[in-house]
Amino acid sequence: MLLSDWTALAEQALAGDVISRDAAHAVLQAPDDALLAQLAAAHRVRRHHWGNRVRLHFLLNAQSGLCPEDCGYCSQSKISAAEIDKYPMLARERILEAAGRAAALNAGTFCMVISGRSPGARVFEKVLDAVREVRARHDLKICACLGLLTAEQAHALKAAGVTQVNHNLNTSARYTPEVVSTHTFADRVATVEQVRDAGLKTCSGGILGMGETDDDVIDLALSLRELGVRSVPVNFLIPVPGTPMEHVRALDPRRCLRILCLYRFLLPSQELRIAGGREVHLRSMQVMGLYAANSIFIGDYLTTQGAAARADLEMIRDAGFVVETPDGLPFEGDPFARLPESYPRAPLPMVEVTAPPGVAAPRERDLVAQGAPSAVPAAAAARAGGGVAHGCGHHG
C-alpha cells in the first residue's frame, strides 16, 4: 500500500467505518519502510480522539497465584512452575499503601487484580471494602480485575465506586481452546457483557504473540469493537520461565507497532493501552507506540518488573506528550514532584527477549512457513499434567 492508502485508512477510521479484512492484513504484513507512514496515519486518529495526552494506569496484584485455571501463558496458573510470590487477598492497609503509590506516580487509574476463576463471597466483600476506602482517600479511578463475574457482582462493584472492570478476551474465539481449557471464549464475553450492562466502563483486550495467526489478531479487535469495549489493553506475550510459552519468540518491535496501528484503525476512539510486554518487545522503540496508543501502565506488572516510573515519565515528556489527570485533562505542574525515590517491585525481573545479533525476530508467517514448533503442544501437555506452564486479566 502507498502513503495515500494509509491516510485513507485513517480517514475511514475517523469516519467510524470498519476497514476491510484485506486492509487489516495489509497493515500487519507491510514492509518495514512503510512503518513510519503507518504510525503517522494511526497518530492522526489517536490525536483526534486523545490529543497529546497519555493516561497512566497502576497495577496491584492483590491476590497472587493459587489459580485453578490452566491458561498456558500465565505465571499464576495451576500448571505454572514460575517462581512467583503466592499469597491470598492482601490486607486493606497494603492495598491503601499501593493506592498511595499510584497517586504519587500520577496514575489516573488504580487497577486492583486478583488471581482465580472468580471471587468467592468473602474475598469479594474485601474488594468492595478496599474500593470504598481508596475512593475516599484518593482522586483515582478504580479498575477491578476479578475473573468471571455475575450481573449482581458487577452492580455491587459499581455501587462501591469501581469505574471500570477489566476482563480480557485474550485472543480470538478460534484460538482460545489452544490457550486454555478451563473456560471458554463465550465465558469471557459473558463477563464483558455483564460489566457493560451494569453501566460500568468495559476494559478488555488481549495478549498477542502466543502463536496466533493474523486473522486471530484481526478477529480479536473486531470482537472488542462489536462488544463496545471502551478501554483496550494490548499485551505482548512475556515468555516467563516456567510457563509453556517461555520459548515463544513471535514478536519484534516492528510487529508490535503494526499491531498497535491496526488496533487504532479498528478501535479509533477507544483508550488503547500498551500493557504487559511493552518494555520486553518494543524495547528502544517504546515511545513510538504512543503515536498509536494513548495509555500505558506505570510501575510493574502482576509478577514481572516494568520500566522505572521516572524513565516512563521522561519518555512521555521528551516526546511532547503530557500525562492525563483522572478527569481526562492535561496534567498541570511538575509530574516528577511527588515521584518516590523507590517503591516495592514485582518479584520477577524483566524478561529479556532479543534475537541473535544481526537477526530480526521472525514474523509469524515466516515461523509457519519454516514449520517452527508451536507453543500450543507445550501448553496442552502442561494442562494434561506432563509439563510446566501469565495474571488473569492483565498480562505479566
Query: Has residue 352 been placed in a domain?
Result: no
Q: In this structure, what C-alpha cell is assigned to residue 152? A: 449482581
The reported pLDDT for the residue numbered 209 is 95
Specify the number of domains making up the chain.
Answer: 1
Residue 201 pairs in a beta bridge with: 164
Query: Has residue 351 been placed in a domain?
Result: no
**Range of 303's domain?**
18-326+364-383
pTM here?
0.89
Q: What are residue 230's phi and psi, to 5 degrees?
A: -100, -25
The reported pLDDT for the residue numbered 354 is 65
The reported pLDDT for the residue numbered 3 is 63
Query: Has residue 334 been placed in a domain?
Result: no
Torsion over CA: 277, 79, 173, 110 (sign):
negative
Q: What are residue 285's phi and psi, to 5 degrees?
A: -105, 20
The reported pLDDT for the residue numbered 377 is 44
Half-sphere exposure of 290 (CA within 13 A, CB side): 25
DSSP classification of residue 372: P
Residues of the chain with pLDDT under 50: 356-391, 393-394
Report the relative pairing of strands 109-114 and 141-145 from DSSP bridges: parallel
Query: Has residue 10 been placed in a domain?
Result: no
The reported pLDDT for the residue numbered 371 is 38
Catalytic residues: 67, 71, 74, 111, 143, 203, 273
**Of 71, 100, 57, 396, whose CA–CA distance to 231 is shortest?**
57
Query: Has residue 388 been placed in a domain?
Result: no
Tell me, what CATH number does 102's domain have? 3.20.20.70
The reported pLDDT for the residue numbered 380 is 47
Give every CB contact of residue 307 below 8 A, 6+ residues apart in sequence. Answer: 278, 279, 286
The reported pLDDT for the residue numbered 114 is 85
**Of 203, 236, 229, 217, whose CA–CA distance to 171 is shortest?**
217
